[in-house]
């Protein structure tokens, strides 16, 4: 699984080196990313993390678009420093000029969302539903209190849950 990713990362760096006529430090490549993001570039660690599930489900587009997208972040950081915007003109220049790709900020991959349980809390206000995460619900059970911003009363667990 890592072989095609590493090969594509290397080819992106070679393209950048040919374009800018200078060497770039190679990053560590990881497939330890979960959730909605296809890839993340950690600028100061010189690290690229990719989502293995999204890669497996969209491998052709992933190698064509996502890998250069993330490499462009690291190249832009090495060229222009910390003060640039993540998807600013410097990054866009690299996407268009070096990789000849559209500078799309987000992917359009289908994402399987897992269902989550929400714990419903209420206050005296009419129609007051406050869906708490399991983590926040656990904090309440340990003694933490949350107040309604309108009436300033303590939010109380209704005994209801819902799955989203």
Report whether 30 contacts 49 (CB < 8 A): yes
Q: Is 70 a catalytic residue?
A: yes
157 class by beta-carbon count within 10 Å (0-12 exposed, 13-18 middle, 19+ buried): middle
- Closest by CA to 158, choosing from 118, 116, 122, is 122
The torsion angles phi and psi of 140, rounded to 5 degrees, stand at: -65, -40
Instruction: Establish whether 44 is an annotated binding residue.
Output: no
Report whether 41 contacts 33 (CB < 8 A): no
Catalytic residue, candidates 70, 100, 153, 160: 70
Report the distance separating Cα 97 and Cα 89, nearest Å: 11
Q: Binding site: residue ranges? A: 69, 73
Q: Binding site for Zn(2+): residue ranges? A: 69, 73
Residues with active-site annotation: 70
């Amino acid at each position: 699984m890592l072989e095609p990713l590493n090969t594509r990362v290397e080819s992106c760096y070679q393209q950048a080196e040919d374009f800018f006529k200078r060497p770039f430090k190679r990053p560590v490549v990881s497939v330890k990313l979960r959730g909605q993001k296809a890839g993340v570039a950690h600028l100061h660690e010189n690290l690229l993390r990719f989502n293995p599930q999204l890669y497996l489900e969209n491998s052709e587009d992933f190698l064509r678009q996502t890998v250069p997208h993330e490499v462009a972040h690291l190249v832009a950081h090495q060229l222009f420093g910390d003060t640039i915007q993540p998807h600013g003109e410097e990054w866009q220049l690299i996407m268009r000029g070096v990789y000849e790709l559209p500078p799309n900020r987000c992917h359009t991959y289908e994402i399987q969302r897992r269902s989550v349980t929400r714990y419903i809390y209420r206050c005296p206000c009419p129609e007051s539903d406050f869906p708490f995460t399991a983590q926040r619900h656990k904090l309440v059970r340990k003694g933490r209190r949350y107040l309604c911003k309108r009436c300033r009363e303590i939010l109380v667990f209704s005994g209801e849950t819902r799955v989203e």
